[in-house]
Amino acid sequence: MNKDIVQFEPEECAELIRNSSSVVALTGAGISTAAGIPDFRGPKGLYVTRQYDPDTVFNIVYFRKNPRPFYEFTRDFAAMLREIQPTFTHRFLSILEDKGILKGIITQNIDALHHFAGSRNVIELHGSYWSASCTRCRDYSVEGKSYEWWVEAIRTSPSCPVLTCPHCNGVVKPDVVFFGEAVRGFEKAAGITERCDLLLVLGSSLEVYPASMLPRMTNATVVVVNMGKVRLSPAANRRFVEADLDTYFSRVAQSLGFDGDVRHQSV
């Protein structure tokens, strides 16, 4: 169902945050497209512009047979992300966590930009490139490596572009959730959503299950900020805003007096 757009000013959102004891954020592709990352399925998405087939790239059965298409995607994706920085909104969420206001981030994104922004309590429903492990021995694992590391590791791998384990020669797989694999951390995500008193839904159309269920699992006030349609029906506890995330949350941060903290973090 399409949302009804109602006027909900940044100052009103700031007041909700100020009066909340447990804020949770659910983020989707929109928070990262502002950083310069095209979404996967849109008209300028990675599947279209780089002609990747999602049934090949992100299919776990196919990956076990032939990981090369996924690694070709990873090489291009990592090279692109190497030059990209977290957005104002990424950093704003990190500041809210530092101040004890934000209790957790639930994200559908695999780009790890929340980590790079400094957030610590991040539930990545679809996994991310933040960590990886050997599919055979599990003894070899990496965490918190930069995208420069991925690009260099893939470039220098003996079986380039597939990265293999130095211990057993098994294929190393970034901890990205493929089609055919279960999402990660949903029970924890549901738990913090049910307990929060304010849920910020940022840059998500709420089309993808099961993340789309989270706003329906809470009696808290829900503020949805997204460009475009959202599949969530209006309700007394829901506020909808169609706006650019960084522009909107810059004003929220100013109203809270946090703008300087966010700007300083980016220096």
Would you name the residues annotated as active-site residues?
Answer: 126
Bridge partners (DSSP) listed for residue 173:
133
> Using H for helix, E for strand and C for coil, what is the string for 140-168?
CEEECCCHHHHHHHHHHCCECCECECCCC
Among residues 149, 119, 144, the alpha carbon closest in space to that of 131 is found at 144
Question: How many residues are given for the chain?
Answer: 267
Cα 46 from Cα 54, distance rounded (Å): 10
Among residues 96, 244, 48, the alpha carbon closest in space to that of 105 is found at 96
Cα 28 from Cα 51, distance rounded (Å): 22
